[in-house]
Amino acid sequence: MRLDKFLVECGIGSRREVKKLISDKLVTVNGNIAISPKENIDENIDEIKYKGKQLEYKEFRYYILNKKAGYITAIEDPRDKTVMELLPEWVIKKDLAPVGRLDKDTEGLLLLTNDGQLNHRLLSPKSHVEKTYYAELETEIGENEILKLEEGVDIGGYITMPAKAEKIDSQKILLTIKEGKFHQVKKMLEAVNNKVIYLKRVKFGKLELNSLELGEVKEIKIDDIV
Ligand code: URA
């Protein structure tokens, strides 16, 4: 692979920017200052360093973000702040996209990847990845409503698939669903005459927020996901 392509793929900068970094002598290949962006390197063997830091080439990258409220799940938007603005500098943004969507006011676990195939697979209606949400409710919820949520409710002409609902206290629940219809959790609670006043996704497949702070990002491995 050409050195400039490698550096771009590692998220160091655009083609033009990495060319400049090479001419500024900031890139080394096996200990020697790189001269030309056209130089061919073997990404599996050669040791490429930028400002003395070894670069690791990974075709696909996976990150989890503990999304803050107030950000929309989009790559760019003319009006709103997007989740991409929550990502620190070390996250490689090239071709990165969120998997699925959390509402602007929803917090919690959002997976982001440049692996388009995986993104597509996880979003497919056939994928049935379990997602668990913690929801605080406007009014108390009864056992009967919990049962209804589990069996399936009508959210505007669509009957939701069987789900798991667990009451934490009179106005707090954990709801695990295997699908991802638009505003699904909010609509499910409306279907049982309640209202979500706070929503946070705490689990997505095998992924859990654990100690990830609000707004924090962590790189993960594909095997961690499902
Ligand atoms: N369900 C919702 O209603 N909102 C979300 O953000 C996610 C699931």
Q: Which residue of the set 95, 103, 105, 224 is catalytic?
A: 103
If one residue of 102, 177, 179 were mutated to test the ligand 1 pocket, choosing by the most ligand atoms within 8 A of its CB, it would be: 102
Q: 3-54 maps to which CATH number?
A: 3.10.290.10
Question: Of the residues 123, 185, 200, which should be mutated to test ligand 1's pocket, given the most ligand atoms within 8 Å of the CB?
Answer: 185
Whether residue 9 is predicted with pLDDT greater than 90 in this model: the reply is no
Reported as a pLDDT band with limits 50, 70 and 90, residue 164 is very high
Write the pLDDT tens digit of every residue in 37-85: 999 999 989 999 999 999 988 889 999 999 999 999 999 999 999 999 9
Q: Which CATH class is domain 131-204?
A: alpha beta
Among this protein's residues, is 103 annotated catalytic? Answer: yes
Which CATH number is 63-124+207-224 given? 3.30.70.580
Q: What percentage of the chain reaches a pLDDT higher than 90?
A: 90
User: Residue 11: its pLDDT value, please?
Assistant: 80
pLDDT surpasses 90 at 89? no
Average pLDDT over residues 113-124: 95
Q: Where are the beta strands (DSSP E) in the chain?
A: 27-29, 32-33, 48-50, 53-54, 62-67, 97-98, 107-113, 131-137, 164-169, 172-177, 196-204, 207-208, 217-220
pLDDT score of 226 more than 90:
no
Domain ranges of the chain: 3-54, 63-124+207-224, 131-204
Q: Which residues pair with 48 in a beta bridge?
A: 29
| DSSP alpha helix (H) spans, 60-183 | 116-123, 143-151
Neighbouring-strand partners of residue 136: 172, 198
Tokens representing residue 37 in the block: 């962006």
Place of tokens 């929550």: 86
pLDDT value for 94: 85
